[in-house]
Chains A and B, each alone.
Chain A
Amino acid sequence: MKKMLLLLLLSLTVSVAGAQLPTGTVNGVQDVRHAVMALTNATVHVTPDKTLKDVTVVIKDGQISDYLKDKRPPENAVVIDYQGMHIYPGFIHLDAEVGLPEPAKRPPFSWGGPETLQSTVDGAYNANEAIKASYNAADDFSHDTKANQALRQVGFTSALSHRHDGIMRGTGTLVSLADDPAQLTLLASKASQHYSFDKGSSKQDYPVSLMGAVALIRQTLMDADWYQQQNKMTDLDLAAINNNNQLPRIFSVKNWQQTLLTRKISDEFNIPFVVKTAGDSYQSLEAVADTGQTLVVPLNYPKAPEVSSPLDSYHVDYSDLKKWQVAPFNTRLLAEKGVSFALLPGDNKKGLKTFLKDLRKAVKHGLSEQAALAALTTIPAEILNRQDIGHLEKGARADFIAFDQHLFNDKAQLKDSWVNGERTEINPRQPLPSGDYILTLDNSQHELKVSFKKGQLNLQPGSESEQKFKAKMDGQLLSLVIDEQAPLMAWVADGKIKPLPSDYNWSLKLSKQNDQDIKSDTDESVKDLPNIPKPFTAYGLADTSTPDKVLFKNATVWTNEEAGVVENTDVLVVDGTIKKIDKDIADSKADLIIDATGKHLTSGIIDEHSHIALLSVNDVAVNSSMVRMQDVVNSQDVNIYRNLAGGVTAAQLLHGSANPIGGQSALIKMRWGVSPQDMLIEGADGFIKFALGENVKRSRNNQSVRYPLTRMGVEQVYRDAFSEAQRYQKNWDDYNNLSRSKKIKVSPPRRDLAMEATAEVLNEERYISCHSYVQSEISMLMHVADDFDFKVNTFTHILEGYKVADQMKAHGVGASTFADWWAYKWEVNEAIPYNAALMDQVGLVTAINSDSAEMSRRLNQEAAKTIKYGGLSEQEAWKTVTLNPAKLLHLDDHMGSVKEGKDADLVLWSDEPLSIYAQAEKTMVDGVIYYDRDKQSTLEETINTEKMALIKESQSSGDSKKPSAQAAKPELHCDTLITHNAFLALDNGAE
C-alpha cells in the first residue's frame, strides 16, 4: 500500500454552500453548483452481496453516477482519495422520531378518581382517543440538526420518523438526514402507517389492557370499512385509515406475545404488518418465525442483574440471567429461521450511541455480516418500497458511509457520512499513518514510533535513546520538541510531512506502517449458542418428552364414572387418549410403564376460575365483551408449571370483574412449552365473564362516575345491553335478508364486536360465568336471563349461592365457588364454607375454583374441605374439581373423568387425592407427562447449577449490570387491573 488514509481538511467541498431551496429567496447571488465528485481507490459494498474493490466512485447531482476501474476520474471531478476505506450504503432507521415534537405525556393512571369514559380530544376525530390515524408526521416535521447528527454518527443516512403515541399512530415520514431544509429532506411525506398496543397519552380509560387494545384495533378496522359505505358522519381518523391503506404498516410491540398477536389481526383483516419487536423473539423463536412477518429488530441486550454478595443471588432470577446470555443471539436465531428483518439500535437511551458496538456483538454471536448489512440497508428499503436507497448501484442516492476498515472490525471507525452527495466528517482521519518513522536531523538518524490515541499524537523513540522526543499536532501543524529545545515545525498534508524552515535540516519519513490499522479481527470465533429453555423461564428446562404409549399399572383409579374408585387397575394411554382401563393390560402395549402400586390415578384438576398465564386481566368498558382473553395468554408464566405440580391440567382464564359484562374467556390446557395459541382447548365452547356487586359498582372509588354505581343500575346495564343486542341482530338479519339488488342500495349496518358477543350470549352461543356474591344479584341475573330467554351457565364465586340454590336449580345454572373464602369484603359477610356442599346437595353442578395462582395448585385440598364442611362423600368432593368444572365448561365429553376415549389428562397421586398428604407425582396432559416429581430434584439442581454458572459468567463479563432484578410476579385475581400504566390489585381477595 503506497498511500495511507488521508487527511482532507478541505472536506466540506459541497456542503459549504448547502443545498438551495428552488422556491426559496436568495439573499445575495445565486450559488448553484453541480458538483462531480470522484472517490478513488475505495472498497465499495454496493449491496450486501456485491463488493467492488479499488474503484473510483463518481457522484453527480446527489446520485451514484458511475464506478470506474483502472480509469482516470472525470476531468471535471473533485477527487478525494478513499484508499483503504470501506464504503457502505447509508443505514435506514425505521423507528425514528427525528424532527418531531415530543408526544404528550402519558397521564398517570389512577383508579381513584372519576373515570374518563369519553375521548378528551375535540374535533371530528375518532371516538377513542388512542386512535390517532389522521396524524401525519410530515405535518409536524422540522429540521433537527442535533438529532440528524446523532443518527449520522452511527451510520444512518435516512430515517422513517413517526410519532410514538397511540394505538393507531398515523403516518410516518421518510426523511433524509442531510442538514438541509425540511422541504428538501422529506423523501416521502407519507411513507408508512404505524400501530401499537399502547394507548400512550390518551386520557380515555378504555382500553387499559392489551386485549382491550386488540379489540379496539379490530373494531376500528371494521369501522373504517363501514365508514366507506356510510354518509352519516365524518371521522377524520377512519378516513385516514382508508386513504392510507396502500402504505406499509409497521406495528410496534413490547414483547414476543404481542408479535404473535399482530399476526392474528393480520390474518383476520388480510393486511400485512411489519413488526417492530422488543428484540426478545428468542424467547419464543418458532412461534415468532411461524408468523412469517418481516420484523424490525432493536439490538436490545438486557443487562445482567447485579450480584454484589453471595446473598444477592436470593433476588436474582434465572430468566434475567438467561436473557442477558441469550439476547445477543436473537438476530442470529431469526436469520437461521429464515426470518426477514431490519435492524435498529437498542430501545434504551444509550442504544443509539452503542449501536455499532451492539451490531458487531450480534455478528460475534453468529449473525452473518451480509445479513447484518441487509438488515440495515436493503431490507428496510424493501419495507418502504424504495429503490433509491439501501444500496449503491448506479442511480442510487449518494447516501453512504465510509469506514476506515471493514465495518465489522472492532476498531473500525466511521469517518464520513454522505447524504444526497453531501459529505459530513464524522471522525477526523488520522493525519499520519501510525508506524515506524525515521527522523533525519542534520546527519543523525533516529527511529521513532508514531501512534494516535483518541486523535492525540503519541511519539516514542524506536530504540533506546537518551534523547527525549515530544510531538503535538494542532490541525495540520506538527511541532516536534527534541530534548526540550526549541520546537521544529512542519506542515502535514496528504500524509506527508513538510518541515517548515528552521536552523536544522530535518525530515520525518515513514519507514514501516503499522499493521494494526488495517488488521482484520473478524477471525475471532463466533460464540456458541447456549441452551434455550422452552418456555423461556427456569422450569422451561423440564424434560417433557413422553412416549406415545404409556401404561399405568396397578393403580387405584378414581374414575368419576359409575364404577367409582376401582383398585388394582391398569390404564393405557395411547396418543394422548385413554385407550383402555382394565385389569392386567399387557406391558407390551406400552413404551413406558409406570408402576402405580399403592398410588391413586385421577383425571386432572380443572380450575373453573383462574387468572394465571395472562398478560392482563381487566379492561374497563362497562360492556367489555369485545375483549378476548385468548389474546393475552402468556405461555411462559411459571404458574402453569406450578399448577401442573398441583395436578391441575386445565383452566378457564377469566376476564376480571371490573365490569358487568366482561371479556371472553380462554379455556386452556396446561401444555408447558407450547405457544399461547396451542394452549387453547381446541373446539371448546365460548365463555364470557359477567360480574355483579361491589367491583362493578366501583365500591372502592368514592369519586367514581361510571354507571352503574348500584346493584339497581347493574340490572339495567344488562337489560339495556341485551335489548340493544336484539336490535343489533335484527338490523343485520333485515339486511342479510335483502335481495342482492336491494343490498347495493343501502349501506350495511355497522359491525360492533361488543354487540356481536352480547348477541352470542342471547343465542346461547357463548356462555356466562358470572362473578357473583349476594343473593339479590344472583336472582336478578336469572330473572334477566329468563326475560331474554337464555340460561346463565355458571355463577362463579357465588358465595351466597346456598341462599338461592333452589332458584338456581330451577334456572338450571351451575356454581363454581371458593371452599372457604370470606371476610375480605362487605358482600362476603355471609359467605359460609358449607356453600359448596349445600349447592351440591340441592343438585347444582358445583365446582370449587381458585381465583388464585397459589390456591390453584392445592385445589385437591380445597375440594376436601367440602367433606369437612357439609359432609360430601369423597367421590362427590373429588368431582368438584374435576368432572363438575368439566361440565360447567362443556368439556365433559372428553375431559373430567377417567374413561376410555377421553383425553389422557391424568394425575398420579402419592396418596388419596383429597388428603393434605397427597402429592401429585406425575401430571399428564394429552398423554404428555409435563410434571414428574421423580425428576424434580434433578431439575432443581440443574436450574441452580446453571444459574450459579450464569452469575459467575455475567459478573466476570465486562458488561454493565443493572441494580434491579425481576421480582416474583404479583398474583392476579379477578379484581386485578393491569394496564400499561399501572398495576393495581383492587381487591386483594386473599387479603
Chain B
Amino acid sequence: MKTILFTLLTLVIFRADAIRPTPAEAQDAPETFINATIHTGDGNVLNNAMMVIESGQISYLGSYQKNQEKGQINDLKEHHIYPGFILTNTNLGLTEVDAVRASVDFKETGQLNPNVRTSVAYNADSMRIPPMRFNGVLLAQVVPVGGLVSGSSSVMQLDAWNWDDALVKNDDGLHINWPSIRNKKFDYATFSMKLEKDKNYGDKVIKIKTLFKDAQAGHSPDNIKLDAVAAVFKGDKQVYIHASTPTAIIESIEFMQSMGINQPVLVTGSAALPVIDFIVSADVPVIINSVHSLPQRNDSPVEQPYAVAVKLQQAGVLTALSYPGSMSSRNLGFTAGTTVAQGLDKNTALQLITLNPARILKIDNRYGSLATDKSATFFISTGDALDMSAQQLQSAYIDGRKIDLSGKQQKLYKRYHDKYQLAE
C-alpha cells in the first residue's frame, strides 16, 4: 500500500518547487478514460465505462466504444471517476489561520451587511485550497458569516490565478441568519450552558423583515444595502436562510415565501428534524451545515447529526452536505460516507455532495454530475472516495484542465520522507 501511495505522490508532485500549485492551462487536447468505474453523481454508476473529455467538456460518456477514443488513452482499471465534490457554505479563501485576526475576512461588523461580497476577498492562493483539491473538493460556495444579514456568497472553482478567474457564479446568494427565540448562554449561577430567551429576538426579526420589504418597495434607489437585497426579487440572487431552531425554520420560510421568494435555501442541522413535513410541503432545498457534530441535546439520539441528511433525503427534500468553517472541510466526502452507514446507498450519498449542491446553487447545467456536454470537472481515485481508508486521488480535472494535486503538505511529506530515507 505504502509503495503504491508513494508512487502516486511522486507522480502528483511534479512541480514540487512551486510555492503553491500553478493553475493549469486550458485543455488543449482531448483525453479518453477507459475501463473506469464512473460514479456519475446523479445516482448512477457505470462499470467498465468510458469517458472522453474535449475542450473542457465531456464529449462522450458510456460503455466502451472504440470509435469514440480521442487523444491520450488512460486505462483506469480498478479506478473510480467521481464528479468534483462541491463544498457549499464555506469560508474557504477568506481565512488562513483562524487564531490570527489579520488573516480572517469572513465576518464584517454590523447586523445588516447585504451589500458585502465574498468574491472580492477570496484569496485564490489560500493555503487551505490545495488540501481541498487533494481530497476531491473542486468547487466551493464561499459564504460570509455574522450579523443578521451577512452578505453575498459566490461560487468558485478551486484552480485559479485570482478571484476573477475563480468565479463560477458571482453573488449567487444572500445569506440571512434568522434569529432564535432562545439563545445559548453561559449561566454563571449553575455553571453550565443555558438556553435563554433572547430579549431582542422581536427586534431582530423586524430588522430583517423591514430590510426585505423596503428593498422590494424600491423607494430608495441609491441605497446600496437595499440594492443588494433587491437582486433577490429580480431572481439574480438566491436567499439562504441559516436557521438553528424548528420555529425559526418555519418563521423564516413563511416570511420569504410571503415575499414571493418561493425557494429560499435552508441551511440548518438537526433543527430540521421536527419540521421535516413542513420543509417538504414548503418545497425548499436544505444544506446540512455539519454532519460530524455532537447531538443537539444530551438526550438526542447518539447519531442524530449523522442521520439528519438521510431523513431529509428520504423524505424527498433536495439535500446537500456541507462542512463548517474550512479547516477540516477536506473531509466532506467522508461525511457523505457517514450517511451510508445511516441508511443511504452510496450513489445517493454521493449525490449529497455533487449533483444536489449543484442544483441548489443552480450550476447543475455544467457541474455536479458527469454527463455529455457538462463540464469535465472530476477526479480519479484508486478507491472509494467516500471512505478515508480507501480514497486516494490520482488526478483531478476542473473544466478539463488537469490540476496539480500536490501542495505544501505533500512537499513537506516528501521532504521528510527523503530525510529519513523511508522505504518507498
Chain A residues within 8 Å of B, Cβ to Cβ = 254, 309, 311, 313-319, 537-539, 638-639, 641-642, 645, 694, 699-700, 802-803, 805-806, 820-826, 828-830, 832-834, 838, 841-842, 853-855, 858, 861, 864-865, 867-874, 877, 912, 914-919, 936, 940, 943, 947, 963-971, 978, 980-983, 987-988, 990-991
Q: Which 5 A-B pairs have the closest CB atoms?
A: A538-B299, A871-B2, A916-B337, A991-B325, A871-B5
The reply to whether A991 and B5 form a contact with Cβ atoms under 8 Å apart is no
B404 is an interface residue with CB less than 8 A from chain A: no
The reply to whether B294 and A864 form a contact with Cβ atoms under 8 Å apart is no
The reply to whether B197 and A872 form a contact with Cβ atoms under 8 Å apart is no
B73 is an interface residue with CB less than 8 A from chain A: no
Contact stretch, chosen from B27-35, B93-101, B112-120, B225-233: B93-101
| Chain B residue at minimal CB-CB distance from A962 | B194
Q: How far is the CA of A764 from the CA of B419 in the complex (A)?
A: 32
The reply to whether A806 and B420 form a contact with Cβ atoms under 8 Å apart is yes
The reply to whether A311 and B246 form a contact with Cβ atoms under 8 Å apart is yes
Residues on A with beta carbons closer than 8 Å to the beta carbon of B299? 317-319, 537-539, 638, 943, 947
Known: A917-B341, A967-B194. A821 touches B389 (CB 8 A): no
The reply to whether A854 and B422 form a contact with Cβ atoms under 8 Å apart is no
User: Contacting B245 at CB < 8 Å: which of A315, A855, A869, A874?
Assistant: A315
Residues on A with beta carbons closer than 8 Å to the beta carbon of B334? 861, 916
Residues on B with beta carbons closer than 8 Å to the beta carbon of A918? 341
Chain B nearest CB, measured from A254 CB (Å): 7
Contact-residue bracket for chain B: 35 or more
User: Contacting B298 at CB < 8 Å: which of A538, A861, A990?
Assistant: A538
Residues on B with beta carbons closer than 8 Å to the beta carbon of A861? 334, 388
Residues on B with beta carbons closer than 8 Å to the beta carbon of A947? 299
Known: A315-B195, A918-B341. A826 touches B97 (CB 8 A): yes
The reply to whether B245 and A871 form a contact with Cβ atoms under 8 Å apart is no
The reply to whether B6 and A826 form a contact with Cβ atoms under 8 Å apart is no
Residues on A with beta carbons closer than 8 Å to the beta carbon of B388? 861, 864-865, 867-868, 916
The reply to whether A874 and B389 form a contact with Cβ atoms under 8 Å apart is yes
The reply to whether B298 and A537 form a contact with Cβ atoms under 8 Å apart is yes
Q: How far is the CA of A813 from the CA of B235 in the complex (A)?
A: 61
B224 is an interface residue with CB less than 8 A from chain A: no
For chain B residues 307-355, which have a beta carbon within 8 Å of chain A? 324-328, 330-331, 334, 337-338, 340-341
B296 is an interface residue with CB less than 8 A from chain A: yes
Q: How far is the CA of A868 from the CA of B2 in the complex (A)?
A: 9
Contact stretch, chosen from B11-19, B205-213, B362-370, B408-416: B408-416
| Chain B residue at minimal CB-CB distance from A833 | B409
Q: How far is the CA of A855 from the CA of B247 in the complex (A)?
A: 29
User: Contacting A314 at CB < 8 Å: which of B186, B246, B324?
Assistant: B246
User: Contacting A822 at CB < 8 Å: which of B293, B327, B391?
Assistant: B327
The reply to whether A314 and B341 form a contact with Cβ atoms under 8 Å apart is no
Q: A317-B297, A825-B99 are in contact. List 5 more A-B contacts (CB 8 A).
A: A538-B298, A539-B299, A967-B297, A970-B193, A983-B186
Residues on A with beta carbons closer than 8 Å to the beta carbon of B96? 823
Q: How far is the CA of A638 from the CA of B334 in the complex (A)?
A: 25
B128 is an interface residue with CB less than 8 A from chain A: yes
Q: How far is the CA of A694 from the CA of B98 in the complex (A)?
A: 13
Q: How far is the CA of A837 from the CA of B408 in the complex (A)?
A: 17
B417 is an interface residue with CB less than 8 A from chain A: yes
Q: How far is the CA of A694 from the CA of B340 in the complex (A)?
A: 39
| Most chain B C-beta atoms within 10 Å of own C-beta, residue among A314, A806, A853, A940 | A314
Known: A914-B389, A940-B301. A991 touches B330 (CB 8 A): no
Known: A645-B302, A821-B328. A915 touches B292 (CB 8 A): no
Chain B nearest CB, measured from A671 CB (Å): 18
User: Contacting B391 at CB < 8 Å: which of A868, A917, A990?
Assistant: A868
Chain B residues within 8 Å of A, Cβ to Cβ = 1-6, 96-100, 127-128, 131, 182, 184, 186-188, 191-197, 245-247, 250, 271, 274-275, 292-303, 324-328, 330-331, 334, 337-338, 340-341, 386-392, 408-409, 412-413, 416-417, 419-420, 422-423
The reply to whether B302 and A867 form a contact with Cβ atoms under 8 Å apart is no
Residues on B with beta carbons closer than 8 Å to the beta carbon of A982? 186, 188
Chain A nearest CB, measured from B206 CB (Å): 21
| Most chain A C-beta atoms within 10 Å of own C-beta, residue among B6, B302, B388, B419 | B388
Residues on A with beta carbons closer than 8 Å to the beta carbon of B420? 805-806, 838, 841-842
Residues on B with beta carbons closer than 8 Å to the beta carbon of A830? 408, 412
Residues on B with beta carbons closer than 8 Å to the beta carbon of A802? 412-413, 416
The reply to whether A314 and B245 form a contact with Cβ atoms under 8 Å apart is yes
Chain A nearest CB, measured from B203 CB (Å): 18
Report whether over half of chain A's contact residues are helix, strand or loop; otherwise say mixed: loop
Residues on A with beta carbons closer than 8 Å to the beta carbon of B295? 642, 968
Residues on B with beta carbons closer than 8 Å to the beta carbon of A983? 186, 193
Q: How far is the CA of A867 from the CA of B6 in the complex (A)?
A: 12
The reply to whether A968 and B422 form a contact with Cβ atoms under 8 Å apart is no
The reply to whether B184 and A967 form a contact with Cβ atoms under 8 Å apart is yes
The reply to whether A638 and B298 form a contact with Cβ atoms under 8 Å apart is yes
The reply to whether A642 and B302 form a contact with Cβ atoms under 8 Å apart is yes
Residues on A with beta carbons closer than 8 Å to the beta carbon of B186? 970, 982-983
Chain A nearest CB, measured from B123 CB (Å): 13
Residues on A with beta carbons closer than 8 Å to the beta carbon of B340? 916-917
Residues on A with beta carbons closer than 8 Å to the beta carbon of B386? 916
The reply to whether B387 and A916 form a contact with Cβ atoms under 8 Å apart is yes
| Chain A residue at minimal CB-CB distance from B246 | A311
| Chain B residue at minimal CB-CB distance from A988 | B98
Residues on A with beta carbons closer than 8 Å to the beta carbon of B422? 838, 841-842
| Most chain B C-beta atoms within 10 Å of own C-beta, residue among A309, A820, A874, A914 | A820
The reply to whether A823 and B197 form a contact with Cβ atoms under 8 Å apart is no
Q: How far is the CA of A25 from the CA of B183 in the complex (A)?
A: 62
Chain A nearest CB, measured from B344 CB (Å): 11
Q: How far is the CA of A822 from the CA of B412 in the complex (A)?
A: 14
The reply to whether B298 and A871 form a contact with Cβ atoms under 8 Å apart is no
| Chain A residue at minimal CB-CB distance from B2 | A871
Q: How far is the CA of A699 from the CA of B98 in the complex (A)?
A: 13
The reply to whether B2 and A915 form a contact with Cβ atoms under 8 Å apart is no
Residues on B with beta carbons closer than 8 Å to the beta carbon of A987? 99
Chain A nearest CB, measured from B94 CB (Å): 12
Known: A824-B99, A871-B2, A914-B389. A991 touches B328 (CB 8 A): yes
The reply to whether A965 and B245 form a contact with Cβ atoms under 8 Å apart is no
| Most chain B C-beta atoms within 10 Å of own C-beta, residue among A841, A915, A967, A982 | A967
Residues on A with beta carbons closer than 8 Å to the beta carbon of B184? 967
Q: How far is the CA of A326 from the CA of B195 in the complex (A)?
A: 22
Residues on A with beta carbons closer than 8 Å to the beta carbon of B389? 864, 867-868, 874, 877, 912, 914-916
The reply to whether A966 and B192 form a contact with Cβ atoms under 8 Å apart is yes
Q: How far is the CA of A522 from the CA of B212 in the complex (A)?
A: 63
The reply to whether A965 and B409 form a contact with Cβ atoms under 8 Å apart is no
The reply to whether B1 and A820 form a contact with Cβ atoms under 8 Å apart is no
Residues on B with beta carbons closer than 8 Å to the beta carbon of A537? 298-299
Q: How far is the CA of A731 from the CA of B337 in the complex (A)?
A: 61
The reply to whether A823 and B327 form a contact with Cβ atoms under 8 Å apart is yes
**6 A–B contact pairs at CB < 8 A?**
A314-B271, A315-B245, A645-B302, A700-B99, A820-B330, A916-B334
Q: How far is the CA of A700 from the CA of B101 in the complex (A)?
A: 10
| Chain B residue at minimal CB-CB distance from A348 | B189
Known: A964-B182, A966-B195, A971-B294. A868 touches B392 (CB 8 A): yes
Residues on B with beta carbons closer than 8 Å to the beta carbon of A641? 302
| Most chain A C-beta atoms within 10 Å of own C-beta, residue among B184, B247, B338, B420 | B420
The reply to whether A309 and B247 form a contact with Cβ atoms under 8 Å apart is yes
Q: How far is the CA of A334 from the CA of B303 in the complex (A)?
A: 36
The reply to whether B298 and A966 form a contact with Cβ atoms under 8 Å apart is yes
Known: A916-B387, A966-B298, A967-B184. A823 touches B341 (CB 8 A): no
Chain B nearest CB, measured from A840 CB (Å): 10
Residues on B with beta carbons closer than 8 Å to the beta carbon of A822? 131, 327
User: Contacting B324 at CB < 8 Å: which of A638, A943, A991?
Assistant: A991
Q: How far is the CA of A947 from the CA of B301 in the complex (A)?
A: 13
Q: How far is the CA of A28 from the CA of B12 in the complex (A)?
A: 107
Chain A nearest CB, measured from B191 CB (Å): 7
Q: How far is the CA of A947 from the CA of B388 in the complex (A)?
A: 38
